[in-house]
Amino acid sequence: MKHRSFSLFLLVVIFTVGFCVIGLVEDQDAINSTRAGNQQVAVEESIVTKVFLPIALAVIMFGMGLSLTTDDFKRVMVYPKATVLGLLNQLVLLPIVAFGYAKIFPLSPELAVGLMILAICPGGVTSNLISHVSKGDTALSITLTAISGVITAITIPFVLRFSLEYFMAEEERISLPIAKTILQIFVITIIPVLVGMSTRSLSESFANRMGKPVKILSVIFFILVLMAAILSEKDDLPKMFKQVGIVALALNITTMLLGFLTSRVVKLDLSQSITIAIESGIQNGTLAIVIATSILNNAQMSVTPAIYSLLMFVTGGFMMFRFGLRNDDVTVER
């Protein structure tokens, strides 16, 4: 059983390496056209964006899959109102608010697209942890993360292409093939999650033992991905932080407030309202950075998700402090 589980884990690497090879082949012409002095730099950047970042994301998504079961997807029937409202906030309201802020605030085209990339990504495992510590509805949080992850694998390319066409100047627009982009996102997100879920179904004890080390590895990879995104634009980072810091914080606070208030309006209980607020504002920053750097090959677009990821830990920490200390027991409204 252990060998079968290990074989499944290897699939993560196999599929991700396939993604990486495609990206490296596409970059080969560009690398060959660079001057000899810049060729080594181009190769090193290509290895980071086309190999390390996708593999890091795949490991994180595999760790998420280790904690999921089919019941997490079926739970939508148990919490229909809460699930639909949570998905509406995350998949509809969040991108709309982000688009509005991208137009209102004086952002460069690259930073505006980066904000949209962040907004159209699903929640991540971080939101599940914050929801749990904040005494939210952890089961609902996991369900929203699982379902939004599947839906966004299809919706991301369409909204992303619109964002590129809207914000980027015609001569700077990046061609984005829809089918290929869906396949790339599927390979680096859905497949690792499915492998993790399959591993758990084949050997729950093995999945439980692997859970903690994979989570630790995921945190390490997340920090490295964040640092890579920030350091890639370190020279312009202070100027970019001034540009995007306020809008990133505004987007985070606005969407969390919308999630909480809409939940209370439809009379969801406090624990579910907390979870929907967290799921509305805590995004998968790693996926956003990988899309910017590995799929769009634009490091500047990764700065917005990187800064947002830093700020969302501040608001997430507030949620954990504010609600994690409460002692009231609430009943789940279904």
Q: Looking at the domain assignment, is residue 15 inside a domain?
A: yes
Given CA atoms 129, 130, 135, 141 in this order, what sign does their dihedral have? Answer: negative
Tell me if 269 sits within 8 A of 296, measured CB to CB.
Answer: no
Q: Is 228 helix (H, G, I), strand (E, B) or coil?
A: helix
Chunked into runs of 10 residues, the chain (334 residues) has average pLDDT values of 48 46 42 40 50 74 80 76 93 95 92 94 82 85 87 91 88 75 82 86 84 77 71 69 88 95 93 93 87 86 88 87 68 46
- Count the domains in the chain: 1
Which of 252, 263, 281 is closest to 330 using CA atoms? 263
Q: Residue 231: give the domain boundaries.
A: 2-324
**What CATH number has the domain bearing residue 126?**
1.20.1530.20
Residues in CB range of 157: below 8 A, 6 or more apart: 176, 178, 181, 182, 185
Q: Looking at the domain assignment, is residue 333 inside a domain?
A: no
pLDDT digits over 215-233, tens only?
Answer: 777 777 777 777 766 666 6
pLDDT digits over 176-223, tens only?
Answer: 778 888 887 888 788 888 888 888 888 888 888 887 787 777 777 777
Q: Looking at the domain assignment, is residue 329 inside a domain?
A: no
Q: Looking at the domain assignment, is residue 82 inside a domain?
A: yes
Q: Looking at the domain assignment, is residue 330 inside a domain?
A: no
Q: Please provide the DSSP assignment of 288-326 as one string.
A: HHHIIIIIS--SGGGHHHHHHHHHHHHHHHHHHHHHHT-
Q: Looking at the domain assignment, is residue 37 inside a domain?
A: yes
Percent of the chain with pLDDT over 70: 77
pTM summary value: 0.76
The helix, strand and coil proportions of the chain, stated in percent and rounded to the nearest 5, come to 85, 0, 15
